């Protein structure tokens, strides 16, 4: 299952006539993935390994990749295929930093309101990611902003927040 993998990017189009494809890397540090030998394709919800023959850098976020199993005749059928790597390959993060998949289920404590619920999901929008917090009175949405995050306690699965005055009240008064 894909729950043991993290999303790396996707194949966006074919490139040239040698079976190469253009891969978009959805990561803040794409250079860490410029020398991969293998990635996993999401084929019908299952991670299937595909070996890499060569990688050329097109731009910081885009690579031209030649996979062993893909030739010019079938390259187009892989457009929009999502690419994954095992979670074990994620580099460790510093204090108060986290991967979105790590914090689902964490208790959310606000400096002014105390326990405001459990992080149910992370909503990813183009300009802002948001904690989706399940509270007895409904859903609370809090932007993921460094200034709002006081502490991330991965051991006890708690995130301490200091949200702006009025943000939590909007959801609790509904």
For the chain, what is the domain count? Answer: 2
Angstrom distance (rounded) from CA 64 to CA 23:
6
Instruction: Band the pLDDT of 91: cuts 50, 70, 90.
Output: confident
Residues 81, 8 share a domain: yes
3-class state of residue 103 by DSSP: helix
3-class state of residue 19 by DSSP: coil
* pLDDT, tens only, 114-132: 999 999 999 988 889 999 9
Residues 52, 123 share a domain: no
Positive or negative, the Cα torsion across 159, 161, 167, 170? positive
Calculate mean pLDDT across residues 94-103. 83
Angstrom distance (rounded) from CA 53 to CA 83:
16
Angstrom distance (rounded) from CA 154 to CA 97:
10
* pLDDT, tens only, 124-174: 888 899 999 999 999 999 999 999 999 999 999 999 999 999 999 999 875
Average confidence score pLDDT of the chain: 92
Domain assignment of residue 80, given as a range: 2-88
Residue 95 lies in a domain: no
Residue 84 lies in a domain: yes
Angle at 8 between CA 141 and CA 53, to 5 degrees: 175
Partners of residue 6 on adjacent β-strands = 85
* pLDDT, tens only, 25-47: 988 788 889 999 999 999 999 99
Angstrom distance (rounded) from CA 30 to CA 103:
23
Residues 115, 43 share a domain: no
Residues 60, 136 share a domain: no
Instruction: Give exposure, 100-127, as e/b (b: 16+ Cβ within 10 Å).
Output: bebbeebbbbbeebeebbebbebeeeee
Given 57, 88, 119, which residue is the final one in a domain? 88
pTM of the complete model: 0.68
Angstrom distance (rounded) from CA 39 to CA 49:
6
Instruction: Band the pLDDT of 97: cuts 50, 70, 90.
Output: confident
């Amino acid at each position: 299952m894909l729950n043991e993998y993290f999303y790396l990017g996707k194949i966006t189009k074919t490139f040239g006539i040698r079976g190469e494809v253009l891969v978009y890397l959805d990561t803040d540090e794409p250079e860490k993935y410029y020398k991969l030998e293998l990635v996993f394709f999401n084929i019908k919800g299952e991670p299937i390994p595909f070996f890499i023959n060569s990688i050329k850098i097109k731009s910081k976020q885009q690579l031209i990749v030649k996979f062993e199993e893909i030739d010019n005749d079938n390259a187009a059928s892989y457009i929009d295929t999502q690419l994954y790597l095992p979670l074990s390959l994620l580099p460790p993060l510093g204090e108060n930093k986290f991967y979105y998949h790590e914090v689902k289920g964490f208790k959310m404590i606000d400096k002014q309101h105390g326990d405001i619920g459990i992080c149910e999901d992370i909503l990813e929008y183009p300009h802002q990611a948001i904690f989706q917090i399940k509270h007895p009175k409904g859903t609370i949405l809090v932007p993921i902003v460094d200034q709002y995050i006081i502490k991330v306690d991965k051991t006890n699965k708690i995130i301490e927040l200091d949200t702006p005055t009025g943000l939590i009240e909007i959801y609790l008064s509904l």
